[in-house]
Structure 1
Amino acid sequence: MRDTKTKKQKAMRIIKNITISLISIILLLAIIGLIYERSAQKQALNEYPAPGKLVQVDENTLHIHSKGNKKPTVVIESGLGSWSLSWDEVQKEVSKYATVVTYDRAGLGWSTEGHTSRTGDQVITELNALLKKTGYEGPYIFIGHSMGGLYTQLYASKYPDEVAGMILVDTRPPNFENEFPEMKENYANQAEQMKLYKFLSNFGIVRLLSGGAIHPGYSEESKLINQAIGFQGASFDAIRNEMLAMDEVDQEVLAIESLPDVPVIVISHGIPEDMSEMGLSNDQVEQSWQMYQQKLADSFKVSQLLIAEDSRHNIMLEQPEIIIESTKEMMEQLNLQ
């Protein structure tokens, strides 16, 4: 009996020691991860400082970057969770005959987030203030991709005299996820996953594993910048806030009463995304998406619909030349070249 009790006590001590050792190892790894991530963040900003200006707008510090010095000014509005780096090729080429302005919405890229509201009105009010503070004068030609296409329409509605033309690149249809419940559920899950990504990013885990998540359309240098700057904790907060505001942005767009009578070029992808993992019919999703692009083009007096035959959704990375040529064409239409 005594031997049995002694054996149990010995076993418990071993288990206790193993548990303490495992906890110590986990804590040590967490501390190492924290130190690594803080060091990596400082190194990233030293190696890849913001190429443009950092401007205080209300509670946020926003990064704005321009190339070129000719009129008109072309303003680029990125899609959900995306930022200025995605537009390097378009900005480089279009800046040969215009001033091209890209910027990072709050919390993305080199911008910091203070004001967490990401309604469409908040986003475009911040952009308007940013353009005014930095002295870029309109009327502008706007290029808006995906959610950026919705923000662009909201900007044109609120500031009609400041918009000379719009290039709407694979604009996300308002209420699109409500049409497909599986997609809406998937987006809700992704928004919650951003909390986990932010937590893991504190320990450098996301940074170490981020290489495979970067679109192959980026240049090699841009891939390095994306990995260094684009996977910080604040980015995941910003993406989550933008995702949570999608329904409200949709309602804002659907409530638009009028848009300025300006030329519009709608560009849609030619290669469908695979939605089968969500349990959706690719044909149904694609048909709904393309119907909206046609409807969008038809809603303007002077417009055309172009198909980027060799591209999926990220046309600025996969077929940037169609956006570059469309910008030239619009400038010719407006007699601005």
Structure 2
Amino acid sequence: MKRTLAVVAAASLAAAATAEAVATRRHVAAEATRYVDAGGYQVAVTVRGLRPTPETPAVVVVVGAGDVQASWTAVAHRLAADTQVVTYDRAGLGGSEAGPAPTADRYVAELQAVLDACLPEGRYVLVGHSLGGFIARLHAQQHSERLAGLVQVDATPDEVAEDRGVQIGFAVSGVLASVFKALAPLGLIRLLLALRAFPLYPEQRAFEARLSPDERRAWVDAVDRSMGPGGAAGPELRSVLPCAREAQQRIADVGRPQFGDLPLAVLSSHARGSERWVGMHRELAARSRAATHREFDDRFHNIHMAHPDAVVDAVDDVLRGRLLHQPAH
């Protein structure tokens, strides 16, 4: 009798474990990495989640200068539970091949190549961080037909070209990138990342808490490659100010609000050390009649790494159309 009860109990536990495993798998979004031709070179693209529906647009992430799509792992996993999420590495970053010198036109063309290959139809929301926010806005200005909304995560404003403080900040970042490039073969980048002391990622500890060991190793490899001798992190960081100047020229004759009723969510940090940076983001939010602006008190520029839940909430608001009747402020 006791043996029979033990067998029944073991079988019940096994069945429960199997059911839990199956239930867990249901919540894990499908994920596939592919390579897209961007005009003579291949860029690495990761597609997560289910196919988008007319009710729920896809989400496309455009990373910041010198950054990699692996930095968006935590946010992408969360968003992929509800819709399709596309992330990619620009030329010379992460898993992508080297490409032409970085320019505003190349950045926009590269994004368009990813969209043409992965989302040939249907609507999408662009989520742009730092330089990626600038790229997303240029795309919105040129290709608004299927665009369902914009999320700007501590995005680079056009006005930075005139701000001396921000100019100095980008200059320092460019110098650091050059130093890391020279010392990467000696293992400096991996050492600093292991010590969680890499200056361009002060949010690393909070970010890593949400990663599996394999995801962390993939992120470290991508950062090391991007910052190393064959990577494009340095050139990208040095391209920010010239691109901002070009953006100013392109929107000089554009009417206001620039984006009309397009849903727009803006997130700001104090990483650049001045109220003017946040003020530029307030002006950015005013470019749409359906906008919201959230400000963080800390100095974490990589908001998606320090506050992934807030980024997910902002994207979800745009996806669900919650900003459609809110005035810009």
TM-score by length of 2: 0.74
Structure 2 unaligned residues grouped into runs of 5+: 1-30, 324-329
Q: Secondary structure at the match of 2:152?
A: strand
Aligned partner of 2:40 among 59, 62, 67: 59
Contact in 1 for aligned 2:89/2:96 (Cα 8 Å): yes
Corresponding residue for residue 226 of structure 1:
219
Contact in 1 for aligned 2:182/2:228 (Cα 8 Å): no
Corresponding residue for residue 171 of structure 2:
188
Corresponding residue for residue 319 of structure 1:
307
Corresponding residue for residue 241 of structure 1:
235
Could you list the per-position Cα deviations for residues 80-129 of structure 1 after superposition, in whole angstroms to 9, with x for gaps in the alignment?
A: 1111111112111111111111111111111121212x112211111101
Contact in 1 for aligned 2:184/2:227 (Cα 8 Å): no
Shift of 1:218: 2.4
1:290–1:310 distance in 2 versus 1, CA, 3 Å: closer
Corresponding residue for residue 17 of structure 2:
none
Q: Secondary structure at the match of 1:81?
A: coil
Corresponding residue for residue 12 of structure 1:
none
Structure 1 unaligned residues grouped into runs of 5+: 1-49, 276-281
CA distance in 2, matches of 1:69, 1:209: 37
Aligned partner of 2:153 among 148, 154, 169: 169
CA distance in 2, matches of 1:310, 1:205: 27
CA distance in 2, matches of 1:103, 1:190: 22
Corresponding residue for residue 79 of structure 2:
94
Contact in 2 for aligned 1:143/1:167 (Cα 8 Å): yes
Contact in 2 for aligned 1:145/1:171 (Cα 8 Å): yes
Aligned partner of 2:50 among 56, 69, 72: 69
Q: Which amino acid aligns with 2:86?
A: V
Contact in 2 for aligned 1:113/1:234 (Cα 8 Å): no
Q: Secondary structure at the match of 2:266?
A: strand
Alignment of 1:1-337 (within 5 A): 52-71=33-52, 72-116=57-101, 118-176=102-160, 178-180=162-164, 184-185=167-168, 187-211=170-194, 212-213=197-198, 214=201, 215-219=204-208, 220=211, 221=213, 222-232=215-225, 235=228, 237-254=231-248, 255-256=250-251, 257=254, 259-261=258-260, 262-269=262-269, 272-273=270-271, 282=273, 285=274, 287-308=275-296, 312-333=300-321
Q: Secondary structure at the match of 1:232?
A: helix
Between structure 1 and structure 2, the one with the greater Rg is: 1
Shift of 1:233: 6.2
1:260–1:187 distance in 2 versus 1, CA, 3 Å: closer
CA distance in 2, matches of 1:297, 1:103: 26
Contact in 2 for aligned 1:89/1:320 (Cα 8 Å): yes
1:305–1:91 distance in 2 versus 1, CA, 3 Å: same
CA distance in 1, matches of 2:191, 2:320: 46
Q: Count the aligned residue pairs.
A: 272
1:190–1:308 distance in 2 versus 1, CA, 3 Å: closer
CA distance in 2, matches of 1:190, 1:307: 23
Q: Which amino acid aligns with 1:245?
A: S
TM-score by length of 1: 0.72
1:310–1:175 distance in 2 versus 1, CA, 3 Å: closer
Q: Identity rate of aligned residues, in percent? A: 24
More helix by percentage = 1
Contact in 1 for aligned 2:184/2:228 (Cα 8 Å): no
**Structure 1 residues 63-72 or 132-141, which shifts more?**
132-141
